[in-house]
Structure 1
Amino acid sequence: MINLGKRIMVIGSPGSGKSTFSRVLAEKTGIPLIHLDKEFWNSGWVETSREQWIKKQEALLNADSWIIDGNYGGTLDMRLEKADTIICFKLSRVVCLYSYFKRVITNINKVRPDMPEGCPEKFDFEFMKYIWDFPKNSGQKNINKLKEIKNKQIIIFRRRSEANRYLKDVN
């Protein structure tokens, strides 16, 4: 039996499987799921202002329990402070890009469940570059922050099969 705590954050590269993993984890545990993309983006791919974004996250983080799926490095420390468990997907960039292509092909012009209305899936070269650069930029910053954390459960998945095995052990 796995003890996750009541506040779980899931981070890692786009295309790594964070949202799918988080959805299954929420179903198995009954812990409410928050997709940060759904909270951050507004219809038409309009960003939430930094001030509103911080206030929104403060409100979300005050809940007794949550699974929060997403990176948003500028506010990562807020979530790290409140989380009991941090789950990090550290998959290869090739796997993440392949998953992104598959996701776009499957969902083109549709709104995914982890996104707000008015933000349909689209092919985005800039986002592809972000995924490719993630391991050496944002991903490395995440790992460095995790190395500094004490007294919290940290789980790092390097393969989807590890995440799938983990989910099988969650009751």
Structure 2
Amino acid sequence: MTDILPLAQLGRRIMVTGPTNAGKSTLTVALADKLGVPAYHVDLFRHLPHTDWEPRPTEDFHALHAAAIAEPEWVMDGNYSEILPQRLARATGIVVVDAPLLSRYVRYFKRTLQRQRVGALEGGKDSIKWDMIHWLWHTRGTAEAHRKLASETGLPAVFCRDQRDVAALCAAWDLRLSLS
């Protein structure tokens, strides 16, 4: 893990990024609770509530994202390269979260089958999807790209390579994770 900066150095608009199912949403809620700011999950902007992750029309997705990043304070998780530049332009700090691929698969199956997920769709009807299983495999090596992007922004950044690093971050910043 990189040195853990004081949380205050990341400012009041923090992006949490990293590969799918690495624990971004869980950390986002803990950070937002600690700072007393809104937690936003970009997946919820992208997908319609009361569905099994059906995508929203692109223009609605972009509008919801634009409205959220315009807020003065937030912690926001998610990637979505098409809107990432706008979020980076507003962010004051970045946390990159990673986890081993096997852990990411276990998290996906557990939270989907148990229907317990931080950042779940309102009224969602989650199910195991081959597209997601494939996506996890396809994105298995993207953590380095997330770390590189964060480093290139010049923003204060913290990098967690696994759940041990997340635990150390939580201890340093006195964060309480709700389990997902």
Does TM-score exceed 0.5, indicating one fold? yes
> What's the TM-score, normalizing by structure 1?
0.86
Deviation of 1:120 (Å):
1.9
Report if the CA contact (8 A) 1:54-1:75 is conserved: yes
Task: List runs of 5+ in structure 1 lacking aligned partners.
Answer: none
Residue equivalent to 1:33: 39
- Post-superposition CA distance 1:4-34 (Å, at most 9, x none): 3000011112221111111111222212101
Summarize the Cα distance change of 1:93–1:113 in structure 2 as closer, same or farther, 3 Å threshold: closer
- Post-superposition CA distance 1:17-64 (Å, at most 9, x none): 111111111222212101112222113233122222222211111111
The answer to whether structure 1 residue 62 and structure 2 residue 70 are counterparts is yes
Deviation of 1:139 (Å):
4.2
The answer to whether structure 1 residue 145 and structure 2 residue 145 are counterparts is no
* Structure 2 counterparts to residues 99-118 of structure 1, below 5 A: 99-107=107-115, 112-118=117-123
- Post-superposition CA distance 1:53-89 (Å, at most 9, x none): 2222111111110000111121111111111111111
> What's the TM-score, normalizing by structure 2?
0.82
Residue equivalent to 2:138: 133
Report the aligned-residue RMSD. 1.9
Q: Partner amino acid for 1:167?
A: C
Q: How many residues align?
A: 166
Deviation of 1:115 (Å):
2.5
Report if the CA contact (8 A) 2:151-2:157 is conserved: no
Match of 1:53 among 61, 79, 94: 61
- Post-superposition CA distance 1:66-121 (Å, at most 9, x none): 000111121111111111111111222122112112212221xx7x4513324222
Distance 2:124 2:144 in 1: 28
Report if the CA contact (8 A) 1:34-1:69 is conserved: yes
Deviation of 1:142 (Å):
3.0
Residue equivalent to 1:2: 7
Report if the CA contact (8 A) 1:26-1:67 is conserved: yes
Report if the CA contact (8 A) 2:147-2:159 is conserved: no
Residue equivalent to 1:73: 81
Task: List runs of 5+ in structure 2 lacking aligned partners.
Answer: 1-5, 175-180
**Percent of aligned pairs sharing the same letter:** 25
More strand by share: 1
Residue equivalent to 2:168: 165
